[in-house]
Structure 1
């Protein structure tokens, strides 16, 4: 991997989708590299095509690539692991059960690998049955602290809490934040985050002791016509990040 950029030292790092090489470069420059640019494995028919295309992005944004599943699709877990082995990106999104395979194939501990856990409606309890087979069975619901320790066992770097539905799961989110603080773990709030609730969601995480927050802001800032992430929206989010971490 190339020299690690500043984002790993940030308290907040933005994670957004990108739809073109030009869009990726503009987003990277607008945030001075304090960003992870999501490329979804689901958008590629084969591993080979994904690897070829993602390497083009990696070359122009200092490899600040986030290899994604695609709406948390558990059936993309294997493809994400295999792609990441060759891309060696800065960041990988995984379902709970896919973390260990990804870490093993990466062959290093520098890449941030998240593990997807989901809200349950009960504060302090999360669903970990987010894998390709486990997601089709009865929900596996366990204490969030236990989930984090299991993720650590598998070589995971952070919790991806999805789908949050913005602030609809606020009480659960607060407890997940506190659990991440207790266990010295990073947190990636995802789902329903927009320009209106971004600051509050980040502030909740920081106020509850999370050492590093990687909020995923996706569809709410994508232009419906171009299908590209809006640069002006990302600049607004970046300004908020700067304000919160002064």
Structure 2
């Protein structure tokens, strides 16, 4: 099963939710394979049922799977790690404190693991207290470059900045993009991204020089009646990506 995603074949790929195996296939085709299909552990009652379902997704999209928490829920951290150990997906979503556990259980360094950090309202600082217990305490604000170094120490691959609320934290995001570029670290902007602001958010990361960018575009492109991600919208996002990288 392919562990290294198309993410590494270009500077940008997409992370979108797959509502079904067929939906995952449609998404994968719409983005010409430059996508990881998010499946949320929060939607399953236990590890076994999640693993059984994820194996179907894996077969359908050449393992372009992103094992998700579910709105950054820290209580899903352990389940994400344990499911990923078995599945060996291309991408894993983790809270900051769960990155080391995920990397150790995976037993390899190819799968991308992001570490969730949150806005603080202060340019140059992020909140790393995003774990099951730490998220209940006071925010722990650390310099962005320190957070990157800590993630690297734990085997992390990428900075997941969430919740961005679109461009509400633009100045903070710009600083993070420059820091990721300077430290050769991937960046995953997440939260409130839609067809209207996607290009502006992508531009900031590209102009900063970030070499690997994985925007998460979730609820804004989901059909409210079916609960499935709209392949046509994925295609529109991918057209923007191709235009920017041309």
**Which range, TM-score by smaller chain?**
over 0.9
Unaligned runs of 5+ in 2: none
Would the aligned equivalents of 2:3 and 2:90 in 1 still touch at CA under 8 Å?
no
Distance 2:152 2:225 in 1: 41
TM-score, normalised via structure 2 length: 0.99
What RMSD over aligned residues (CA atoms) do the two structures have, in Å? 0.8
1:174 paired residue number: 174
Distance 2:112 2:189 in 1: 15
2:92 paired residue number: 92
Distance 1:167 1:7 in 2: 24
Distance 1:3 1:75 in 2: 26
Would the aligned equivalents of 1:7 and 1:33 in 2 still touch at CA under 8 Å?
no
1:191 paired residue number: 191
Secondary structure of the 1:117 match is strand
1:7-29 per-position Cα deviation (integer Å, ceiling 9, x unaligned): 32211100000111111101111
Question: Within 5 A, what are the aligned runs for 1:41-52?
Answer: 41-52=41-52
TM-score, normalised via structure 1 length: 0.99
1:66 positional shift: 0.1
Secondary structure of the 1:123 match is coil
Would the aligned equivalents of 2:6 and 2:13 in 1 still touch at CA under 8 Å?
no
- What is the aligned residue count? 246
Aligned in 2, Cα 1:239/1:171: closer, same or farther, shift over 3 Å? Answer: same
Distance 2:39 2:3 in 1: 21
1:122 positional shift: 0.4
Distance 1:61 1:207 in 2: 31
Are 1:212 and 2:212 an aligned pair? yes
1:2 positional shift: 2.3
Unaligned runs of 5+ in 1: none
1:3 positional shift: 6.2
Distance 1:152 1:7 in 2: 19
Question: Within 5 A, what are the aligned runs for 1:28-67?
Answer: 28-67=28-67
1:129 paired residue number: 129
1:5 positional shift: 4.4
1:55-91 per-position Cα deviation (integer Å, ceiling 9, x unaligned): 1000010000000000000000000000000000000
1:10 paired residue number: 10
1:105-128 per-position Cα deviation (integer Å, ceiling 9, x unaligned): 000000000000000000001000
Distance 1:235 1:121 in 2: 33
Are 1:232 and 2:232 an aligned pair? yes
Question: Within 5 A, what are the aligned runs for 1:101-116?
Answer: 101-116=101-116
Secondary structure of the 2:84 match is helix
1:209 positional shift: 1.1
Distance 1:114 1:5 in 2: 14
1:171-195 per-position Cα deviation (integer Å, ceiling 9, x unaligned): 0000000110111100000000000
1:202-234 per-position Cα deviation (integer Å, ceiling 9, x unaligned): 010010111111000000000000000001111
1:6 positional shift: 2.8
